[in-house]
Structure 1
Amino acid sequence: GASLLREGLLFLLDVNEMASLPELSGSLGMLPLGAAAWWWHWRAVGQEAARFGDTPESVTVRRLYVYLVAATGLVLLWLGLVETIRALLDWLVIRDVTATLGFRAEQLATGLSLLAVGAPVWALHWRAGQIAAGQEGAPGRNERASAPRRGYLYGVALVGALLILFELAQLLYRLILWLLGSPEAAGLETETVDALVRSGVAAVFWVLHVLTIRTDARLTEEAGPGPEEAIQAQRAALEARIQRLEQELAAARADLARLSDGQTE
């Protein structure tokens, strides 16, 4: 899908001629087949869930699907935003239009095609996960505590933080070179802008997912303990009470033994 959009955008931008039909036959053939297969399986899964109800296994598979596809869409969305913003910055900054028109057009076409594919894929599955996690009672609590959701949220937060730190380190390195007057600092403007764009886009998604992690924790705290957690807490309280009573009983027996010894003497 993204490759077809890219070819179409390049044709509209009058940079390349439209690829021939044999070159696009693979994408043209796989796109409707893949869409039809996805729709059929998704409909079949929904019908089975409505008829027989969800099982723990089916819920786990659904969560894995939602968050894995959301992660894939997020990567495409990030790449598309980076390429698009970078192409627009080039268009605003670079003066020699004729020398860079082809490069910027290809960069813009690549970014927009990735955006067109990644944005809806990520948004739809992200919304599905958010709706499931926002439910009241046990369904929402179980969704927020599920391993696929936590793995997705914490994984994106970790990768985003590492990416931001890496790009900031590169920016600091280039700044030090420039302050020291190093000849290597010349010609690094493009790389600096690239690093700023990559880290800026990553920071937006990092903040979004960190806030979601905090929201999940707040909702879980407001909802209170679930049935299993309540049973475990009650069991722990009873075990502690039994242990305390056993200690008191042992102390009482020791006192009784001392009284018996005193009467014997």
Structure 2
Amino acid sequence: MGGWVPDLGGAVSLILLVAVVVVIVLYRRRAAGRVDVGAMVRRLIEYGFLAGLVLGTALGATGLLARAFDGLRGHETGDSEEMALWLSLVVVAGGALVGLLAWLRRRFRAAPSEADAGGWGFYLGAVDLGAAGFVVAGVVQVVGWAVDGWRFDAWMAAGAIVWTVVAVVHHRLPGRRPEIFDLVGSAAALVGVAISLAVVLEHLLDWAYDGTTPEPFLGLGGHGTGEWSDTADDVTGVLAPLVGFAGAWLRYWWWNARRTSRSPERDGYVLVVGVLGGLAATVVAASGLFHTALSWVLVDSARDAGAVAHFDVATVFGALLLVGLAAWAYHRSEVPHAVDRQSGGRDEVSRLYDYLEAGVGLAAATLGVGLLLGALLHVVLPAPDDWDGDVAEVLAVALTLLLAGGPVWARAWRRIQAHAGTVSEESSAVRRIHLSTVFGATALCVLVGVGTMVYLVLFGLLDGSLDVEKVAIFRFPLAAIGATAGVAAYHGRVLRAGLRAVPPSARPALRTVTVVGADLSDLVGRLEELPGVRVVHRLRLGAPGAVPSDPDAVAATVATTADDLLVVVAEDGSVDVVPVAP
């Protein structure tokens, strides 16, 4: 066994090396040979080594500072071996870090364009995210110790201080981190804030519930006493993560990503994380509340423990509903044209918002129809003697999904169909992807259901075992077919009508507009709104002021032509629009 372990390690190293080479080759091909592969490899090694030295130095400094905290509090500071480890990290990694920084400083002075390189931006973003994680963890522990009596963790407190210094130093370095890192940090912080806030609201709602019910109940979030002091203790225990994640959210979203101009990454964050996440939480919470009420009415066993015990879970769904609605409403306001669609016009982002909402509602409603049909077929079709399950619970779930998903889909689809028939709407890629996806998924469900029934019949005939039990299984594919056949037929008809509504002459041909300049996110966003335009952005080196003075005028010029274009922005803000061959 020991003989092949080194071989395995060598094979893994070889695979990693090949993977790096493949990534570099693909990146080079994608950039059509404009990338200096040698510079890419150099930056990969240098900045990777730099990140490792920063991590090692920070760990050593954290260990030394933690020992100092323990000494000031009169606690055991650890043995000499641990002290030697932290000192060696600071001396060796810190010394190497100082030398590497001096070397990089000379390079940045000799080549200012190095600060605009993608590798440097990736390094800044990665270190910033890592530092934020350590800081949030430390802040959570320190706040919990200060307000809720948590045990003081010297390591976490020291880590928060050290990594705050690391983040501040990197923030003052030349260059800027890519926007995607701010959005990733915003997403992680938003999830933490939402969970913490939901727990706080659940404790408050549980306290109110215990105070209004005949007798306190030992629920999911309370002590069962109905006393405010117990609830205050529970809420205080959640303040630490709420403060930590809220600070990260303010830092990454409110003060950074929110203030940037429109971009595909920003729109994707707002739609997928904010709008769709808030909508999903709202639908889940509403479904939980509906199911709690319906199961009390329809399911006999749900009434065994009494109303107080049964409806106690409503505080959890109520808290989730409030958080989901808040996230949905706020991020909806961040969607361009979310309010003024009629006057401002619809773009692909506005459409994507509508179709995401429709998709969530349609999925829930379709599943509800399937469960409802399954419950009805369970009563109608013959079944073996051991199939004596109560359909009341299934019926409660089905009605819950219909009540939660149906209105969401109807509201979004009514808004969508108000623009149906226009060339811009029917030729939209978002609309066609949505219709094709829904039609394909539901048609596949129908085919699978039909195939399952045909298989069961043929197997029963060939095997001579076509009995009541096999016929009883038909209720499952029949329910799937009944729930999805109508959806597939309707969306297929809408898709065909849309294809007929757009004549070939009105379908814009895709053309490429290459823009060359500095920070052109505003101009790129305007050009991407034009139908049939694919925008390629190239950074102009050594010209940080190459930003157009009037992006709207440039977009209007591009819209009046049908050729591939090269848009070059000069240092003074003037723009040259040059037609080029495809």
* Same-fold status (TM-score > 0.5): yes
Residue identity matched to 1:16: A
Q: 1:154 aligns with which of 417, 436, 451?
A: 436
Cα deviations by residue, 1:154-178 (Å, 9 ceiling, x for unpaired): 1111112211111111111011022
Matches within 5 A, 1:237-248: none
Q: Which residue of 1 aligns with 2:542?
A: none
Q: Which runs of 4+ in 1 moved over 6 A?
A: none
**1:133 alignment partner, SS class:** coil
1:120 paired to 2:407: yes
CA 1:172–1:205: 2 relative to 1, 3 Å: same
1:6 paired to 2:288: no
Q: 1:63 aligns with which of 351, 372, 383?
A: 351
Q: Which residue of 1 aligns with 2:75?
A: none
Q: 2:481 aligns with which of 191, 195, 199?
A: 199
**Number of corresponding residues:** 221
- The CA deviation at 1:183 is 3.4
CA 1:122–1:49: 2 relative to 1, 3 Å: closer
- The CA deviation at 1:227 is 9.3
Question: 2:291–2:396: 8 Å Cα contact kept in structure 1?
Answer: yes
CA 1:190–1:50: 2 relative to 1, 3 Å: same
CA 1:31–1:186: 2 relative to 1, 3 Å: same
Q: 1:16 aligns with which of 299, 302, 326?
A: 302
Question: 2:287–2:404: 8 Å Cα contact kept in structure 1?
Answer: yes
Higher relative contact order, chain-length normalized (CA < 8 Å, sep 6+): 1
Q: Which has the higher strand share?
A: 2
Q: Which residue of 1 aligns with 2:140?
A: none
CA 1:50–1:174: 2 relative to 1, 3 Å: closer
- The CA deviation at 1:32 is 3.1
Residue identity matched to 2:372: T
- Structure 2 distance, partners of 1:49, 1:74, is 23
- The CA deviation at 1:186 is 5.3
Q: 2:315 aligns with which of 18, 22, 25?
A: 25
Q: Which residue of 2 aligns with 1:137?
A: none
Question: 2:335–2:350: 8 Å Cα contact kept in structure 1?
Answer: no
Cα deviations by residue, 1:115-135 (Å, 9 ceiling, x for unpaired): 11111111111221111223x
Q: Which has the higher helix share?
A: 1
**Structure 2 gap segments, 5+ residues each:** 1-285, 510-531, 533-561, 564-582
Residue identity matched to 2:320: M
- Structure 1 distance, partners of 2:368, 2:474, is 19
**Structure 1 gap segments, 5+ residues each:** 135-139, 237-265
Residue identity matched to 1:25: T
Q: 1:77 aligns with which of 345, 351, 365?
A: 365
**2:452 alignment partner, SS class:** helix
- Structure 1 distance, partners of 2:382, 2:496, is 42
RMSD: 3.4
- The CA deviation at 1:110 is 0.4
What percentage of aligned pairs have identical amino acids?
29
Question: 1:74–1:118: 8 Å Cα contact kept in structure 2?
Answer: yes
Matches within 5 A, 1:203-214: 203-214=485-496
1:172 paired to 2:454: yes
- Structure 1 distance, partners of 2:434, 2:491, is 9
Question: 1:177–1:185: 8 Å Cα contact kept in structure 2?
Answer: no
Q: 1:143 aligns with which of 425, 433, 440?
A: 425
- Structure 1 distance, partners of 2:488, 2:338, is 36
Q: Which residue of 1 aligns with 2:377?
A: 89
Which range moved further: 115-124 or 187-196? 187-196
